[in-house]
Structure 1
Amino acid sequence: MFLQLPSYADAVRFYFPFFVYKKYWVTICVDYSSWTVIVLDCNTALRTDYMMTKDVRPIASMFPYLVKQVRREFGTRDGKVMGFERPRTIPQQNAVTHSAVSSVLLIQAHALGGVDACKCITPDVLDSQVERLVVTLYEATVGAL
């Protein structure tokens, strides 16, 4: 995929939702510039940092080799496992069922404004954010409303 789509060649961050332990979703941000895997978790009570590190370690170990396939320069990091961060400022969702849509909204917020922008994805605005997301997806695939 990276070799076929040249727009990815200059990307600094890669985002994807990650289904943790068949329970709930988190957002994974692989940040090439800081050499860090950032986990944006809207329900930190379900997994300790140790447990989450164990879940994310394969990504942190594998991603450097994936980046190398795109012929990116590593500098002094060649083959080193990426670091791990799990910011505590992410608003928490009590309902595990909200984690999937929260992970998608956290991708959007983090891509636009970093961890500080993720603070706006709170339980009280989740419904309106979901409506906005659905309209955006509809307009992107079908056309303007």
Structure 2
Amino acid sequence: MKSNFVINVAGLAVVDILIRVLRSVLLHQLPSEGSQSAEFLDTKFGAAIMKNFPKFLNSKNKESYIFPKSLSGIFPTKEAPKVNPRNYYFLLYVGNKHWVGICFDVGCGTVTILDSGLALHKEKALEKIITHVIQMLPYLARYARLKIETDPVIQCYDVARPKSVAQFKNEADSGLISLPFMANHALYGPEACKNIGDDVLVEESKSATILAYEFKEKL
């Protein structure tokens, strides 16, 4: 599965199909609103943030910045009956074959990094790499009219990088292992990410491609 993590099936990267599988399974187990409510976004979201960050950074008035539909379109419109979830999960590529899982909690204004390779980047170095995420998300959340419980003045989100997350030596496995990280974090909290071992990775690797092809017609 290492070489197949980003192959396409019917125009979708396998990882995005797996995220949709994850979403279809977990959303039935999570509440539709409240502190544990969640949404799982595909890799296009992280890519769109990176693509639009230079323009956002150069804008004189960031509070009035008009976000493209590739970013704002993930949220229900104010007319939609759907309740906005509080937590948003997505994968982010941080270079050198390494992926991390991201959870941003709209309610308390935090970004949690689920990183299977803590030794690869020091805290400040990784925050610099994902500065586009940290800086843009508060503005995007307000632009999408999500409920914010923190101070109304737009600031960068606080960043948490739990040290209890299970660690894996092979960077090529980071994208795949980030999926159960996000699932466990959503269901049980950060402490549940420390009990994910090599056996889980092996099972994920065995089933990932099969799941992707089985679900591609449904998703």
1:35 and 2:146 matched:
no
| Contact 2:106 2:148 survives alignment (8 Å) | no
| Contact 2:94 2:130 survives alignment (8 Å) | no
2:18 corresponding residue in structure 1 = none
> Equivalent of 1:49, from 123, 129, 137?
123
1:101 corresponding residue in structure 2 = 176
1:71 and 2:148 matched:
no
Q: Deviations over 1:40-84 (max 9, x none)?
A: 000111111010111222212111111112213435243111000
1:19 corresponding residue in structure 2 = 93
Q: Which runs of 4+ in 1 moved over 3 A?
A: 3-9, 129-143
Between 7-16 and 80-89, the greater mean CA deviation after superposition: 7-16
1:129 and 2:193 matched:
no
CA distance in structure 1 between the aligned counterparts of 2:125 and 2:100, rounded to whole angstroms: 13
Between 37-46 and 98-107, the greater mean CA deviation after superposition: 98-107
Between 78-87 and 18-27, the greater mean CA deviation after superposition: 18-27
Q: TM-score under structure 2 normalisation? A: 0.58
Distance 1:136 1:113, change over 3 A: farther
2:56 corresponding residue in structure 1 = none
Distance 1:120 1:108, change over 3 A: same
| Contact 2:106 2:147 survives alignment (8 Å) | no
> Equivalent of 1:62, from 116, 136, 148?
136
Q: Deviations over 1:11-55 (max 9, x none)?
A: 111111111124300111111122111000001111110101112
Unaligned runs of 5+ in 1: none
1:92 and 2:167 matched:
yes
CA distance in structure 2 between the aligned counterparts of 1:86 and 1:8, rounded to whole angstroms: 30
What root-mean-square deviation, in Å, do the aligned CA atoms of Structure 1 and Structure 2 show?
A: 2.4
| Contact 1:110 1:117 survives alignment (8 Å) | yes
Count of matched residue pairs: 143
